[in-house]
Chain A
Amino acid sequence: EAGVAQSPRYKIIEKRQSVAFWCNPISGHATLYWYQQILGQGPKLLIQFQNNGVVDDSQLPKDRFSAERLKGVDSTLKIQPAKLEDSAVYLCASSSRHLTSGGGETQYFGPGTRLLVL
């Protein structure tokens, strides 16, 4: 089974520029997550999709961040314009269980995209 794919792996941009990240979840996984992991901290959920609908985007800075999941498969996360504090690793994860199911749903993570804003 192929894992979660992300691209690019690394990106360096200047502040006020735009950047986009791409994620391809595991085939058949209904739930997709984007996390931001700042150096020395745990992952922070930015947005959670169930199929192509947004379940939770309460921690997404909507003035500059946007995400979409067309057709309930691939997803893109965009930052426009970027700030210095956006430097982080952006992790995509997917899981198969429906969001209303309890229990030990396992998230599968991609390798992440490391963003450096100068």
Chain B
Amino acid sequence: GNSVTQMEGPVTLSEEAFLTINCTYTATGYPSLFWYVQYPGEGLQLLLKATKADDKGSNKGFEATYRKETTSFHLEKGSVQVSDSAVYFCALRGNSGGYQKVTFGIGTKLQVIP
């Protein structure tokens, strides 16, 4: 079946540091890939997505590139802010049993300190 593997957190960074959160996946066919963010006390929000190989999703300074050769979709940001503190979930949407199904990773907690 489909699966998503994320680096375990928590990740603690100083403000303006470079962020990378690793995500790799296993899926048949050509899944779509997503990063969701969950701020404290809130529901999940879509951060960015990519629907085919070599696509780059970007939003709010975050980027991730769909790498089919390495089955990866790593999340990056050049300079994090305290307001980026949240839990980040990598997810894929792929074919499972004849219909589209979303599979989430376990989430990576990011804490940015001033």
Contacts and interface: CB of A to CB of B under 8 A. Distances in A.
Contacts of A93: 44
Interface residues of B, number: 26
B50 interface: yes
A117 interface: no
Interface stretch (A14-22, A62-70, A80-88, A98-106): A98-106
Contact of A109 (B4, B43, B100): B43
Contact of B44 (A40, A99, A109): A109
A45 B100 contact: no
Given A42-B105, A42-B106, A55-B99, A103 B45 contact: no
B107 A104 contact: no
Contacts, number: 60
A43 interface: yes
A104 B107 CA distance: 20
A25 interface: no
A100 B99 contact: yes
A42 B90 CA distance: 9
